[in-house]
Structure 1
Amino acid sequence: MTPQQFPAPIDVAGVYDGIGQIYGSAWGPNKHYGYWENDADDSSVEEATDRLTDLMISGIAAQAGQRVLDIGCGIGHPAFRLVRASDVNVVGISVSHVQVAKANELAAEAGLADRATFQFTDAMNMPFPDGSFDAAWAFESMWHMPDRGQVVAETARVLRPGGRLAVADVIERGPVSPAGRAVLDHICANYAVSSLGTIDEYRKVLADNGFVDVEIRDISDNVGRTLDLMADAVETVRDKLVDLVGEEQATSLIDFMRLSAAAPESGYLFLTAVRA
C-alpha cells in the first residue's frame, strides 16, 4: 500500500495548530515519541514518553541555576519536567503563536512561569546574544527546519563554550527501498518537513560548527511502536480529523503512521554533543 500524497501544509505552525492539535488530544500532553526498553516492556504511553524526556534531560546534564534553550518547545511539557528535575531556567522557542501562548499559560498554571518562558522565535535566526545559554536541546524539532545546518550554527553561537546539546529526531535510514521512499516522501508532504536528516549529516554539521564529543545512538527500535499506538489513539478521535482534512486524507494520515512504523527507512536518533 502506498500512502496517498497531499499538498504540504503552509508551514510548521500550520501542522501543529491543525492536525497536531487533534493528535495531541488523543496522545496526551507529551507530544513526542515514547521510549520502550525492549519488546517485553509494557510501559504506558505516558511512562514511555516521560522516559524519552528523561533521556534528553540526562543528555544535557544541566546543573541547578543554569539557562537552557528549548528549540521547538511545543506546549512546554518536556521543559516543565526538565525544570522540576534539574532546577534550571528554560527559554522555549517556537514558530507557532498558538503553542507559545499555551506553553506560557501552562507554565503559569504549574507555578513555573518564573523559570520557564516561551517566545515566538525562528530557530535559524535567534535574537539571543552569543554564549547566553548553558545547554540546549531540540526535541523532535530539527526535522522541520528548512536548514538544519543553520540551526546548528545558531545553537553553537548562543551556547557558551562547554555547553551541551541534545537532539532527538526522526531521520532517514538507508538503504531506501521504493516503498520506503514513498513513506519518507509522505512525511515531507504532510508534516512540513523539508527533508529528513541522516546520522552522517548530523556528524558533519556538528563537526563543522565546533561541536565535539559527539555521541549518536540509533534508537529506532526503542521508539518504533510509537506510531502504531498513535494511530490507534487517533482512531478514537477520527471524526475530528475528518472534519479538519476530509475522510480521504484522514484515512491516509492514519495509514501512514502504520506504514511508517513498519518501514526500516524511517528511523530515530538521540545525540549529545559539546560546544568546543
Structure 2
Amino acid sequence: MSNISNSTPADLNSRVRARAVGQAPSLGDVTDVYDGFGRIYGAAWGPNLHYGYWDDDADRASIETATDRLTDMMIEGLRGQAGQRVLDVGCGIGHPALRLVQKSGVDVIGITVSRLQVAQANELAAGAGLADKATFQFADAMDMPFPDGSFDSAWAFESMWHMPDRAQVLSEISRVMRPGGRLAIADLIERGPVSPQGRKVLDHVCTNYAVKSLGTIEEYRGALLAHGFVDLDIRDVTANCNRTLALMADAVETRRDELSALVGEERAQSLLDFMRLSAVTPEQGYVFLTATRA
C-alpha cells in the first residue's frame, strides 16, 4: 500500500490523546484526517466527500445524486452571479466549488490547511478547464490572507466543525465579505438534550476527526448576529442527511484492508461502528444555513 499520510498511526494516536484532554485541533490534526484516512473515505465515497440530502425515507436517490443535491442547495443559497468572487472556506479537493463555477459563472478562491488538497483541487480545476475561474491555496480560515471586502459571498461546506473557534472564522468571513454578500454553511452540529450514549458518540467524533466541539444551532445564530450577519435562515436537516453515515460506512467497508493498515484493525472497526451508530444518534445533527452580510 502507498504511503497515505506522512504521520504514522502512533503519531495520530498521540494527537488523539491530546485532543481528549481538551486541546483544540491543530492545523496538523486536520491535515492528518484528510490526508490520512480521509483519502480512503474519499476513494470509497467519491469526489463529493460530504453528506447527501434525501427528501424523505422513501427517497431512493443515489449517493451521487444526493451529494449533488446538497451542493446545489449551497449554490442556491449563495445566489451567485457571473463575475462575482466567492470564498470557499475549507475547500477540500474543490469538487463542489467547480460545480458552483459551472452553475453560476462565479470566480472561486478556495482555502484549506492541506497542501495535498490544494494540489488536487488545482489539478481538478485545470482538468475541467476552469483554472481561470477557480483557484485554491493554503490558508488558515482563522487568519485569512485577504484584504477587507475581497469577496461577494462565501461558503463553508462541512469545514466549520474543524475550526477551533467558529466565531473567529465567522469574524474573518465577515471581514473579507462585502456588505450585502451571501453566506452559506453546511455543518455537523450537536442537538440537545444529550444522553450519555449520545455524548459517547459526539466524543468519538471529536476525538477521531480533529474536532474540538460540535456547535449548536443557537450558537450559530448568536455568532452570526454578533459578526454582522442578518436575514438568517437556519434549517435542521438531520433527518434528510444522516443516512449518509450508514452508506459511507458500507462504502468504506469495501476498503477495510487499507483503513486497517493505516490506523490498525481495532481503530478501523471503531470508526466503522461509530459511523453506523452516528446515523441513528439524534444528538448528532446537520444544519444548513444562509445569511446576508449586513
Alignment of 1:86-235 (within 5 A): 86-235=104-253
> Structure 1: how far apart are the matches of 2:253 and 2:29?
25
Unpaired stretches in structure 1, ≥5 consecutive residues = 1-5
Amino acid in structure 1 at the alignment position of 2:81: Q
> Structure 2: how far apart are the matches of 1:216 and 1:121?
27
Shift, 1:45, TM fit: 0.2
Task: Give secondary structure in 1 for the equivalent of 2:279.
Answer: helix
> Structure 2: how far apart are the matches of 1:69 and 1:62?
11
1:32: which partner in 2? 50
Amino acid in structure 1 at the alignment position of 2:244: T
> Structure 2: how far apart are the matches of 1:39 and 1:249?
31
Task: Give secondary structure in 2 for the equivalent of 1:11.
Answer: helix
RMSD, aligned CA:
0.8
> Structure 1: how far apart are the matches of 2:41 and 2:150?
34
2:261: which partner in 1? 243
Amino acid in structure 1 at the alignment position of 2:127: E
2:278: which partner in 1? 260
1:56 has 2:74 as partner: yes
1:12 has 2:23 as partner: no
Shift, 1:130, TM fit: 0.5
Task: Give CA-to-partner distance per residue, 1:28-70, whole Å, 9 cap, x none.
Answer: 0100000001111110000000000000000111111100000
Task: Give secondary structure in 1 for the equivalent of 2:286.
Answer: strand
Amino acid in structure 2 at the alignment position of 1:122: D
1:275 has 2:267 as partner: no
Shift, 1:11, TM fit: 1.0
Unpaired stretches in structure 2, ≥5 consecutive residues = 1-15, 20-24
Task: Give secondary structure in 2 for the equivalent of 1:205.
Answer: helix
> Structure 2: how far apart are the matches of 1:194 and 1:116?
30
Shift, 1:224, TM fit: 1.3
Structure 1 runs of 4+ aligned residues shifted over 3 Å read: 6-10
Amino acid in structure 1 at the alignment position of 2:216: T
Amino acid in structure 1 at the alignment position of 2:204: H
> Structure 2: how far apart are the matches of 1:11 and 1:237?
23
Select the residue among 46, 50, 66 that pairs with 2:64: 46
Task: Give secondary structure in 2 for the equivalent of 1:262.
Answer: coil
Amino acid in structure 2 at the alignment position of 1:95: V
- Give the alignment's TM-score, normalised by structure 1: 0.97
> Structure 2: how far apart are the matches of 1:210 and 1:90?
22
Shift, 1:99, TM fit: 0.4
> Structure 2: how far apart are the matches of 1:67 and 1:156?
14
Amino acid in structure 1 at the alignment position of 2:86: V
Q: Percent sequence identity over matched residues? A: 72
- Give the alignment's TM-score, normalised by structure 2: 0.91
